[in-house]
Amino acid sequence: VHYIASNIARVPFKIYSGDTVIENAPVTQLFKQPNPYMTTNQLFEATASWMKCRGECFWVYDIFLEQENRSAMLPQQIGLVDPDKMEEKIDEQGRVTLWLYHKQGDKKPIPILPDELIHFHYWNKWNPRRGCNRSSCR
């Protein structure tokens, strides 16, 4: 997993508008320093590692910020959380309406709206809302 993830992270990451590379915009700054603890390469390496190990990965926007600083149109930070600590809440139509992040040591979970994260996941024949890595989906 490490070799695959580190090779994925080595690929140069660029943001384009049409054929033009965008170099000095808020979104490029976000990906240059996704959060205080990670570089761009670490973000992509961790994403690939979670995908290979768990079959899913969560990019949660602004989870390290206080609640009152989370209302910006463009996220300030991108953080990754352990998929095992994420719980989905489903409505009558089977759609995810809320995610609960069960942070270790906290009794009360952190509620996260679906538009406050990106959930990458492989297809799972047992649960269409959660990922499944290749070895456990056989």
138's tokens: 């056989």
| Ranges in the chain, pLDDT < 50 | none
Q: What is the chain's alpha carbon radius of gyration, rounded to the nearest angstrom? A: 16
- What pLDDT is attached to residue 71? 58
- 98, 103, 105, 107: CA torsion to nearest 10: 0
- What pLDDT is attached to residue 135? 66
DSSP assignment letter at 111: E
- What pLDDT is attached to residue 125? 86
- What pLDDT is attached to residue 138? 59
- What pLDDT is attached to residue 75? 87
- What pLDDT is attached to residue 84? 93
- What pLDDT is attached to residue 128? 86
Q: Do 89 and 98 meet the contact criterion of CB atoms below 8 Å apart?
A: yes
Q: From CA 38, how far away is CA 23, in angstroms rounded?
A: 19
Q: Which long-range contacts (CB under 8 A, 24 or more apart) does 67-75 make?
A: 70/116, 74/26, 74/27, 74/30, 75/30
Give the global pTM: 0.84
Q: From CA 75, how far away is CA 7, in angstroms rounded?
A: 27
Q: From CA 37, how far away is CA 31, in angstroms rounded?
A: 13
- What pLDDT is attached to residue 132? 86
